[in-house]
């Protein structure tokens, strides 16, 4: 058997920011010898050394050479890199060194909450974490899948886990995109215990995949006494996925939305992805239709040209017209454009106001039937009007006390 | 070195490089009663009547000017990081065996790290100006012979005018000049826009040498520097690297956090009632500042608002405002890109300004206090709204003051900073080096919120119903300390060894910079 002597994790080099590189070599005797090079040495050198000692104590590391090259990593990153390096040496050690849960990170979500924008953060890039929520996306996705190189999957899991504990996402829905199954099942124990709200299931092609994920989540929840619901957002990214989209959307009552991923889908079809998107029209329409048939949200793919805000706007308006309620974002500046483009028009708001007022009036008078002018209004219409009102308030187009 | 506490409790030396100093007394508290510097009367008969002051080399000019040990030599920084003349100048001084020069630049750039060899071998005794990058590191490690003196652009003019710094020889790099010594920066291959930072040097130095790589027959128009103040003109092959003198294009920041800060600033200015017809503001060329211009432009266009003047640091973004009719004037202290140079050359409403017009505290007023809003950067701020622009939290000197201190006199001074950089919190209990007293700083804008100085009740009131994230500075600080893992330790410095001082705009000593212990 090959005995691994040195374990390392993290990033090193001149251009690295807010990250660090940790290398641990277990030695015989001589105690803990650590060497720290940090660009914040004068400010946090002591603090970093204390963390190293604390973690050595925690994992009962008695003798080791430890090298830390730090480019301003925050404590949650330092701890994640240390643990990832250590676990390469002792993969069977199941103890976890968890940062304490940020007091702001206990908020919950709802199945039908607004999901207009969801910002992807690469799982192994800590520099984007702390400020992501300031840009006010509806959701933040910590991505363990495509943005993480295969060799970095382990490191990214510790980082994402620590981020879920430490980083304040300022009210954004806390999402994680796991890897494709079966690897993705192993991701879950790193995130489920730490108030994750939604799990995104990539390249989903069957109801069984959804059920497998749900089962694993339920098991981890039971072990950790977690009662809060964790929702699922399968991503349809293949021809087969499109065909099975209704089955997927209805596989579990925890499915809150169906998303479509067009990079992989167009690759699967063997065609180029265009801005016009004619090649994916069928897929997008089918996903919307399956989602609506299942009573869940439909979420559109990302728009990948981060400099083209006009193109993004056009893309969102088209998505909205097709029935999508949300769009993926890969840059924070896309968020506002997405929100503005999903915002209802003045005409839509006015109509919604009338419907909701008529409904409230009818309810107050104990009438079972609601009429607006000569038209009868049924429940789904009222629900859609209420949704429009909520969107208008969120976008600052309507005062939240509009009906007072 | 004897240190005493000044009016803001900062320890400062009473004597610097052998000269007695006045401690900072408070903002607008110290009034100098002396008379401004006087000069030897000059006589036309001593100068060539045909106006030709050309000498064949810089070395000849320095010889004729009487260069000797211990003199003060001044240069300007309009050629920025493309400046090669200053390095050649000190090569020449070195070759002449002259020592202990006080170098008095209006600013230094990374290209001047070449001069470290002359700081080491005693050609240069110390720098009064700015100590950036490697020069800052060299100084902060206690390796410079004398004590560095950091001044604002206005403070530099004041110190020359008041006779606090007497320039023996001014060497003025001129992108275009005539043999009489008239010079400008708008024409020639090394064009840099205005060369207003050299004005005081031309007026007050004993000897003035104009060095150009574009000699034209008399008259050189416009004459930003007047030949009547010039002793010698030297023609050289090249003043420097044009691609580093001005940038071809100025790049807008793509950083989402900086863009967020910029958006907050523009909205704040709008909601605080600053953005209205006839308003004015000062914009720098930093990434956040450029983005503010774009956000302001949207607001101005949407509301049909036109500014009376905008102070630059001009860039193509300011030039666009001028050309699209969104401001009547650009009053320009230095020009950062080719569009700025072109505009100053061609557009009479793009006007060169100097530290005398804009910043000099010992004048009959200056422009800085007339500006409605100014946006500035900082390396650090503190909970009392004090700010630092010269050193970093590890104690090392990194930047000069520039016009920063002078701009604090604007009607609304806004500091744009990230709340932390990597793991370095920007809002501290006390700044490492005090450069700007908190009473002059009105608003600090970070990506985590906008903190308004409690003494600006008018501003607080103006935005009290705003949807902007208006927060107390301590609240933002607390949040950032939690992110970074507590308050940072103070830098380890030798409090007995002052390596540089920061002067206030009135010539008094505001704070000291100490040797960093490594």
Chain A residues whose beta carbon lies within 8 Å of the beta carbon of residue B482: 102
Tokens, residue B407: 């701009």
- Name every residue whose Cβ is closer than 8 Å to that of residue B225 and which is 6 or more positions away in sequence: B172, B174, B177, B181, B182, B183, B184, B195, B198, B199, B202, B210
Contact at 8 Å (CB) between B4 and B11? yes
Q: Do A40 and B485 touch (CB under 8 A)?
A: no
Query: Is the Cβ pair B423, A135 closer than 8 Å?
Result: no
Tell me the C-alpha distance between A198 and A256, whole Å.
Answer: 8
B161 occurs within a structural domain: yes
B28, B278, B307 from B372: Cα distances, Å: 20, 10, 10
Candidates A18, A75, A333; nearest CB to B422 = A18
- Please report residues of B whose CB lies closer than 8 A to that of A131: 256-257, 447
Q: By CA distance, what is B423's nearest residue in A? A: A72
CA separation (Å) from A166 to A195, B6, B427, B428?
Answer: 11, 43, 21, 22
Residues 6+ apart with CB under 8 A from A165: A76, A98, A99, A100, A101, A102, A105, A194
The answer to whether residues B241 and B263 belong to one domain is: no
Which chain A residue lies closest to B483 (C-alpha atoms)?
A: A74
Among B63, B74, B139, CA closest to B98: B63
CA B58/CA B64 separation, integer angstroms = 10
On whether residue B282 sits in a domain, the answer given is yes
Tokens of B212: 């150009």
Q: Find out whether B460 and B473 touch, Cβ atoms under 8 Å.
A: no
How far is residue A158's CA from residue A151's CA, in Å, rounded to a whole number? Answer: 14
Taking the domains of chain A in order of start, what are their residue ranges? 6-89, 117-342, 346-394
**B62 closest CA partner among B178, B253, B209:** B209
Phi and psi at residue B111, in whole multiples of 5°? Answer: -60, -25
pTM: 0.94
Residues 6 or more apart whose Cβ sits within 8 Å of residue B101: B69, B70, B71, B72, B73, B90, B93, B123, B124, B125
- Please give the pLDDT value at position B492: 94
Characterize the bridge pairing of strands B11-13 and B19-20. Answer: unpaired
Q: How many domains does chain B have?
A: 2
Distance, in Å, from the CA atom of B516 to the CA atom of A41, rounded to the nearest integer, reads 13
Is there a contact between B194 and B224 (Cβ–Cβ < 8 Å)? yes
Mutate to test the interface with B, among A36, A39, A44, A401 (most CBs of B within 10 A): A44
How many beta carbons lie within 10 A of that of residue B112, not counting itself?
26
What's the per-residue H, E or C state across B33-51?
CCCCCCCCCCCHHHCCCCC
Per the domain annotation, does B287 fall within a domain? yes
Residues B468, B340 share a domain? yes
- Cβ–Cβ below 8 Å for B256 and A39: no
A299: which strand partners?
A259, A326
The rounded distance, in Å, linking the Cα atoms of B250 and B390 is: 24
Which pLDDT score, from 0 to 100, does residue A127 have? Answer: 95
ipTM above 0.85, yes or no: yes
C-alpha to C-alpha distances, B177 to B7, B98, B186, B202, B218, nearest whole angstrom: 46, 28, 11, 14, 8
pLDDT at A365: 81
CATH of the domain at B484: 3.40.1080.10
Residue where a domain terminates, one of B245, B264, B279: B245
User: Are B484 and A74 in contact (CB < 8 Å)?
Assistant: yes
Which letter does DSSP use for residue B197 in this model?
G
On chain B, the residues whose CB falls within 8 A of the CB of A120 are none
Report CA torsion sign: B349, B354, B357, B359: positive
Give the integer Cα–Cα distance in Å for B230 and A17: 50
Give the CATH class of A6-89: alpha beta
Q: Which two tokens stand for residue A297?
A: 């949200």
DSSP A67-111: EEEESS--HHHHHHHHHHHHHHH-TT-----PPPPPTTTT----T
Spell out the per-residue pLDDT of chain B, length 518, in tens. 789 999 999 999 999 999 999 999 999 999 988 899 999 999 999 999 999 999 999 999 999 999 999 999 999 999 999 999 999 999 999 999 999 999 999 999 999 999 999 999 999 999 999 898 899 999 999 999 999 999 999 999 999 999 999 999 999 999 999 999 999 999 999 999 999 999 999 999 999 999 999 999 999 999 999 999 999 999 999 999 988 988 776 778 889 999 999 999 999 999 999 999 999 999 777 788 889 999 999 999 999 999 999 998 899 999 999 999 999 999 999 898 999 999 999 999 999 999 999 999 999 999 999 999 999 999 999 999 999 999 999 999 999 999 999 999 999 999 999 999 999 999 999 999 999 999 999 999 999 999 999 999 999 999 999 999 999 999 999 999 999 999 999 999 999 999 999 999 999 999 999 999 98
List residues bridging with A200 in a β-sheet.
A177, A233
B275 in the same domain as B218: no
- Nearest CB partner across the interface for B423, out of A44, A46, A102: A44
Note whether B193 and B332 are within 8 A (CB).
yes
Tokens 């070449």 -> residue? B114
In B, minimum Cα distance to A331 occurs at: B256
Task: Tell me the residue range of the domain where B235 lies.
Answer: 48-245
Q: Are B508 and B16 in contact (CB under 8 A)?
A: no
Confirm whether B478 is domain-assigned: yes
Q: CA nearest B145: which of B102, B88, B112?
A: B102
| Cis check: omega of the bond before A218, within 30 degrees of 0 | no
Is residue B273, in this structure, part of any structural domain at all? Answer: yes
B315/chain A closest Cα distance in angstroms: 21
With tokens 């500091």, the residue in question is B415
Report the alpha-carbon distance of residue A137 to residue A299 in Å, rounded. 14
| pLDDT for position A211 | 98
Judging contacts by C-beta atoms under 8 Å, the chain B residues touching residue A41 are 394
What is the number of residues in chain B?
518
Query: Quick one: tokens of B105?
Result: 């630049």
Q: What is the pLDDT of residue A3?
A: 61
Task: Average pLDDT across each block of 10 residues of chain A; the chain has 404 residues. List them in order.
Answer: 78 94 93 95 96 97 96 98 96 95 95 95 96 97 97 97 98 98 96 98 98 98 96 98 98 98 95 90 97 97 92 95 96 96 90 88 77 78 86 85 80
Task: Judge: A74–B421 Cβ closer than 8 Å, yes or no.
Answer: no
Q: How far is B381 from chain A (nearest CA, A)?
A: 16
Whether the CA torsion A302, A303, A304, A306 is positive or negative: it is: negative
**What local confidence, expressed as pLDDT, does residue A88 receive?**
95
- B270 class by beta-carbon count within 10 Å (0-12 exposed, 13-18 middle, 19+ buried): buried
**What pLDDT is recorded for position A14?**
87
The Cα–Cα gap between A139 and A120 comes to 9
In this structure, the strands spanning A64-70 and A32-38 are parallel
Q: Chain B residues with CB inside 8 Å of A52's CB?
A: none
Question: Between chain A and chain B, how many beta carbons pairs sit less than 8 Å apart?
Answer: 64
Taking an 8 Å cut-off on Cβ atoms, the answer to whether A135 and B486 are in contact is no
Q: Is A136 left (phi over 0), alpha (psi -120 to 50) or beta?
A: left
The Cα A243–Cα A258 span in angstroms is 13
Q: Are B393 and A43 within 8 A, CB to CB? A: yes
* Element holding B183 (H helix, E strand): strand B183-184
Same domain, B328 and B393: yes
From B257's Cα to the closest Cα of chain A, the distance in A is 7
A51 contact partners, CB below 8 Å, separation of at least 6? A75, A78, A79, A82
- Kindly state whether residues B236 and B261 are assigned to the same domain: no
State whether B322 and B430 are in the same domain.
Answer: yes
Q: What is the CATH number of domain A117-342?
A: 3.20.20.60
Residue B15 forms part of a structural domain? no
């Amino acid at each position: 058997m090959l005995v691994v002597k040195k374990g390392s994790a993290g990033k090193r080099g001149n251009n690295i920011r807010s990250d660090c590189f940790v290398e641990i070599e277990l030695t015989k005797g001589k105690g803990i010898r650590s060497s720290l090079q940090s660009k914040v040495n004068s400010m946090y050198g002591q603090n970093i050394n204390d963390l190293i000692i604390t973690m050595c104590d925690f994992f009962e590391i008695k003798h080791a050479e430890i090298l830390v090259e730090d480019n301003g990593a925050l404590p949650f990153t330092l701890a994640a890199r240390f643990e990832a390096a250590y676990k390469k040496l002792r993969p069977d050690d199941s103890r976890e060194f968890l940062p304490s849960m940020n007091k702001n990170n206990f908020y919950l979500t709802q199945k039908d909450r607004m999901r207009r924008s969801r910002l992807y953060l690469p799982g192994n890039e800590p520099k984007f974490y702390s400020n992501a929520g300031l840009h006010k996306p509806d959701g933040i996705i910590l991505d363990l899948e495509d943005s993480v190189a295969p060799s970095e999957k382990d490191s990214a899991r510790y980082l994402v886990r620590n981020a879920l504990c430490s980083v304040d996402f300022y009210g954004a829905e806390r999402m994680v995109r796991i890897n494709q199954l079966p690897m993705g099942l192993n991701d879950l124990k790193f995130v489920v215990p730490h108030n994750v709200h939604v799990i995104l299931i990539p390249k989903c092609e069957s109801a069984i995949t959804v059920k497998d994920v749900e089962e694993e989540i339920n098991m981890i929840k039971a072990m950790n006494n977690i009662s809060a619901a964790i929702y699922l957002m399968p991503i349809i990214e293949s021809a087969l996925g499109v065909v099975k989209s209704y089955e997927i959307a209805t596989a579990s009552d925890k499915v809150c939305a169906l998303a479509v991923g067009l990079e992989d889908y167009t690759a699967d079809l063997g065609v180029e992805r265009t801005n016009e998107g004619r090649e994916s029209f069928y897929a997008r329409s089918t996903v919307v239709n399956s989602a609506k048939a299942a009573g869940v949200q439909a979420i559109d793919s990302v728009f990948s040209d981060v400099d083209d805000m006009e193109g993004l706007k056009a893309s969102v308006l088209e998505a909205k017209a097709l029935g999508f309620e949300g769009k993926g974002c890969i840059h924070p500046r896309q968020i506002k454009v997405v929100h503005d483009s999903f915002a209802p028009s003045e005409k839509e708001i006015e109509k919604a106001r009338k419907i909701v007022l008529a409904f409230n009036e009818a309810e107050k008078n104990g009438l079972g039937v609601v009429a607006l002018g000569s038209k009868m209004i049924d429940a789904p219409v009222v629900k859609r009007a209420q949704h429009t009102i909520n969107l208008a308030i969120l976008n600052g187009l309507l005062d939240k006390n509009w009906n007072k | 070195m004897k240190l005493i506490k000044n009016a803001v409790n900062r320890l400062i030396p009473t004597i610097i490089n052998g000269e007695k100093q006045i401690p900072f007394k408070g903002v607008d508290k110290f009034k100098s009663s002396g008379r401004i510097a006087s000069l030897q009367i000059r006589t036309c008969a001593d100068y060539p009547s045909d106006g030709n002051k050309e000498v064949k080399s810089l070395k000849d000019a320095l010889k004729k000017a009487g260069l000797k040990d211990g003199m003060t030599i001044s240069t300007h920084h309009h050629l920025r990081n493309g400046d090669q003349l200053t390095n050649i100048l000190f090569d020449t001084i070195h070759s002449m065996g002259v020592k202990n020069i006080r170098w008095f630049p209006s600013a230094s750039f990374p290209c001047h790290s070449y001069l470290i060899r002359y700081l080491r071998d005693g050609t240069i005794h110390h720098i009064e100006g700015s100590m950036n990058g490697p020069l800052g590191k060299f100084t902060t490690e206690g390796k410079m012979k004398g004590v560095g003196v950091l001044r604002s652009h206005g403070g530099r003019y004041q110190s020359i005018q008041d006779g606090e710094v007497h320039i023996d020889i001014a060497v003025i790099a001129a992108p275009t000049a005539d043999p009489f010594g008239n010079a400008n920066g708008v024409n020639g291959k090394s064009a840099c826009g205005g060369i207003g930072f050299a004005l005081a040097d031309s007026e007050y130095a004993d000897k003035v040498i104009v060095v150009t790589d574009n000699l034209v027959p008399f008259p050189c128009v416009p004459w930003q520097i007047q030949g009547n103040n010039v002793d010698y003109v030297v023609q050289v092959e090249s003043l420097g690297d044009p691609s580093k003198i001005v940038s071809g294009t100025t790049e807008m920041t793509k950083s989402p956090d900086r863009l967020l800060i910029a958006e907050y600033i523009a909205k704040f200015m709008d909601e605080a009632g600053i953005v209205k017809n006839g308003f004015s503001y000062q914009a720098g060329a930093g990434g956040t500042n450029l983005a503010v211009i774009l956000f302001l432009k949207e607001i101005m266009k949407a509301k049909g608002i036109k500014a009376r003047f905008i102070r630059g640091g001009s860039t193509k973004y300011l030039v666009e405002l001028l050309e699209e009719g969104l401001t009547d004037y650009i009053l320009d202290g230095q020009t950062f890109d080719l569009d700025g140079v072109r505009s100053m050359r061609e557009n009479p409403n793009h006007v060169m300004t100097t530290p005398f017009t804009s910043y000099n505290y010992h004048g009959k007023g200056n422009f800085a206090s007339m500006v409605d809003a100014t946006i500035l950067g900082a390396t650090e701020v503190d909970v009392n709204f004090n700010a630092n622009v010269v050193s970093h939290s590890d104690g090392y000197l990194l930047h000069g003051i520039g016009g920063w201190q002078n701009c604090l006199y604007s009607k609304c001074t806004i500091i744009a900073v990230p709340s932390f950089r990597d793991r370095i919190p920007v809002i501290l209990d006390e700044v490492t080096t005090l450069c700007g007293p908190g009473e002059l700083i009105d608003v600090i804008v970070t990506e985590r919120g906008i903190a308004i100085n409690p003494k600006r009740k008018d501003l607080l009131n103006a935005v009290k119903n705003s949807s902007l994230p208006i927060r107390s500075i301590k609240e933002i600080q607390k949040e950032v300390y939690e992110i970074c893992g507590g308050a940072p330790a103070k830098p380890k410095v030798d409090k007995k060894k002052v390596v540089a001082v920061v002067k206030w705009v009135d010539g008094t000593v505001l704070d000291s910079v100490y040797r960093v212990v490594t």
